[in-house]
Amino acid sequence: MGNRLSKIYTRTGDRGETGLANGRVAKDHPRIEAIGEVDSLNSQLGLLLAELAEQRSRWPGLAEPLEVLGPCQHRLFDLGGELAMPDYQALQTEEVTRLEAAIDRWNDELGPLENFILPGGSRLIAQTHVCRSLARSAERRCQSLNGEEPLRAVTLAYLNRLSDLLFVAARLVARRQGVAEVLWQAAPKLGD
């Protein structure tokens, strides 16, 4: 493959700009904000995958979420590439379909959600919710960018579906770990 980076620092960004395939932009440009959110999600997803890999010997049921979520890191990197190089198109609609199939399969196992749930119960469940919330943040940043510079529909659909998948994955991890989900409890009414 060859060397992708010959030098890690270039000093060209010291004045608040960074380079994209089609030129330089401010580091707070909506495109860079979107790339940053996708990168944050990918980093946290890496932590989740490492935790799942460590725990699957104790809970063999965690092998499936690890298998389904593993490729998402690569697709997020593809998505970041598309954001950095607007003519580059790597993400395919089949990936959205793959996520939907996992959501449907896992939802069949879980049954309907009857209460609001909070992140927690175990470290793995909480980390899955961190990833879910970052997927929503990345989606919002991409939607903002889309308002200024149209993105491919599959980009927005993928992030939306990934956040849905991560929500269901958090519930699945709880079930397969045998950990009760943390149910939201409304604040007591005044006078109670």
Predicted pLDDT at 86: 81
- Please tell me the distance from the alpha carbon of residue 167 to that of residue 172, in angstroms, as a whole number: 9
Predicted pLDDT at 9: 57
**Number of folded domains that form the chain:** 1
Residue 192 resides in a domain: no
Predicted pLDDT at 1: 45
Mapped onto helix, strand or coil, the DSSP state of residue 107 is helix
Residue 14 resides in a domain: no
Residues for the chain: how many in total?
192
Instruction: Fill in the DSSP letter of residue 3.
Output: -
Residue 17 resides in a domain: no
Q: What is the CATH number of the domain that holds 27?
A: 1.20.1200.10
Inter-CA distances, 75 with 27, 45, 98, 114, 163, Å: 23, 12, 12, 32, 14
Domain that includes residue 167, residue range: 23-179
Q: Which stretches in the chain have pLDDT values below 70?
A: 1-23, 25-28, 192
Residue 40 resides in a domain: yes
Q: Is residue 170 within 8 Å of residue 163, measured between CB atoms?
A: no
**For residue 164, which phi and psi values (nearest 5 degrees)?**
-60, -45
Residue 2 resides in a domain: no
Residue 139 carries which side chain, given as an amino acid letter? E
